[in-house]
Chain A
Amino acid sequence: MDFEWSDQQLAFRDSVVDFARRSLAEDIQDREKEGTFSRTLWQRCADFGIQGLPLPEEFGGQDADVLTTMLAMEALGYVCRDQGLLFSMHAHMWAVELPILAYGTDDQKQRYLPGLCSGELIGAHGMSEPDSGSDAFHLATRAERREDVFVLNGTKTFVTNAPIADLFVLFATVNPDQGMWGVTAFLAERGTPGLSVGRPIEKMGLTTSPMAEVILEDCEIPVGNMLGREGQGAPVFNHSMGWERSCILASMVGGMQWQLETSIAYARERRQFGKRIGDFQLVASKIVDMKVRLETSRLILYRAAAAQATGKDSTLDAAMAKLYIGEASVQSALDAIQIHGGYGYTREYGVEQTLRDAVGGRIYSGTSEIQRVIIARYLGLSPLK
């Protein structure tokens, strides 16, 4: 088993790190405090090719393999302190670009993928509702077919990118009696009559990634904007979740590298009781744990991404990656704060932000609890009856 990256991949990673240092490594404290998304940084990433990494060249993409894409996202997370920007990018790629690529008609691909690639269009994915989160398919948003349109009514919540999105992937049921097989996916453009975006939702972390409700009131979506087939919304959603769970925490892994290096540097410099705090076993032990968590997170991330790329069912690998990295990034953030002591608790050092950003990883794209349920099912436990 060869765990080495190719020279080409390493050179690409270095170019991403260089790009991020030149173009993304700004002080974001004020923007993070205000929760301001940066369209400028978004466009810089698009111009470099980030948003197009997983897409074919015919749509303006880089046609990069998934491991190389993950390597790039990890590198961005290592250098760029704006994890909110990166999170918005992840949501855009895995839950909008890829489902259109997999389930879209040729017309839909031509209409939307080039703009999603180039930075011109920002995508958002709306599944959760006020009364359906983990129980995703128990949604209430209805889609009623009327001749050549579907009329949607309902409310989506926790929609990442909603305040700035140009294109929405939305899920509604055409027949609640059919359960998951009544759920259908739709592509809705901003400005469609009947589609409105609520006030921004303030979050604990990832503050520069905008989020809001999407309200649908007799919103007419052309039949030609159905994504996949009627009643195929569940497979479309599962497809997005598979990619999200496998890949969305790649930038967090990069952030864990930053936490580790920052903590080591601090532990080597800070002195108490006449010696470096890193020389005390209780401090060194935390850093050791951070290192082990980082390397384990890398292994499980890339294994899940590789499994996802085979096209076979990689639900188990994705769930394990999401669960492990989601929990590990929180623990490493806690350790980083602890190592920095009082300074770690202040905004100035940027360490406390990593904890606020990491906590969401235990919740979005399926909570840690849901990942455990999925894993148990694949182990033959937790039967349905």
Chain B
Amino acid sequence: MEASVRTVKEYILEQFLPGESPDNLTGTTPLFTSGLLDSIASLQLVTFLEQEFGIKVAAHEVVPDNLNTLESIAGFIRAKRS
């Protein structure tokens, strides 16, 4: 698993889903559209990504394409850093 995915996965499990089995959170699990995470979590997640990976998330980038799965988040981080 890509390092950034592991980092984000650990953050989500610890911050929002304590006690949840890590096996239940895969690279393609829909985080927001499934109702697993809510809008407050989206704000906290964006802050975490900015601080952890040194990226700046613009207002128009807070969309499901970038944030709804661990894989899409990893792709978003890669694109921002390249």
Contacts and interface: CB of A to CB of B under 8 A. Distances in A.
B60 A179 contact: no
Contacts of A178: 33, 64
Contacts of B20: 385
Nearest to A319: B40
Contacts of B34: 179
A237 B62 CA distance: 12
B79 interface: no
A68 B42 CA distance: 30
Contacts of B43: 238, 313, 315
A228 B59 CA distance: 9
A230 B47 CA distance: 23
B46 A384 contact: no
Contacts of A378: 44
Contacts of B32: 179-181
Interface string A229-246: 101101101110000000
Interface residues of B, number: 28
B68 interface: yes
A383 B16 CA distance: 5
Contact of B36 (A177, A234, A315, A384): A384
Interface in A86-111: 102-103
A269 to B, nearest CB: 49
A231 B61 CA distance: 12
Interface string A118-147: 000000000000000000010000000000
Interface hub of A231, A315, A383 (most chain B Cβ within 10 A): A383
B41 interface: yes
A181 B44 contact: no
A22 interface: no
A374 interface: yes
Contacts of B19: 385
Contacts of B38: 137, 180, 384
Contact of B17 (A231, A234, A312, A385): A385
Contacts of B37: 384
Interface string B1-29: 00000000000000111111000000000
A199 interface: no
A342 interface: no
A380 B42 contact: no
Interface string B43-69: 110110010000000011011100010
A237 B59 CA distance: 12
Nearest to B62: A235
Contacts of B36: 384-385
Interface residues of A, number: 27
B35 A313 contact: no
A169 to B, nearest CB: 15
A377 interface: yes
A280 B64 CA distance: 61
Nearest to A230: B63
Contact of A384 (B33, B41, B59, B63): B41
A232 B20 CA distance: 28
Contact of B64 (A102, A231, A237, A313): A231
Contacts of B18: 383, 385
Contact of B59 (A235, A374, A380, A383): A235
Nearest to B59: A102
Contacts of A385: 16-20, 36
B42 A235 contact: yes
Contacts of B16: 383-385
A229 B63 contact: yes
A152 B19 CA distance: 41
B59 to A, nearest CB: 5
Contact of A234 (B39, B50, B60): B39
Given A180-B38, A232-B60, A234-B39, 6 more contacts: A180-B39, A235-B42, A235-B63, A312-B50, A313-B44, A384-B38
Nearest 7 pairs between A and B by C-beta?
A313-B47, A235-B62, A181-B64, A384-B16, A178-B33, A234-B39, A385-B17
Interface of A: 102-103, 137, 177-181, 228-229, 231-232, 234-235, 237-239, 312-313, 315, 374, 377-378, 380, 383-385
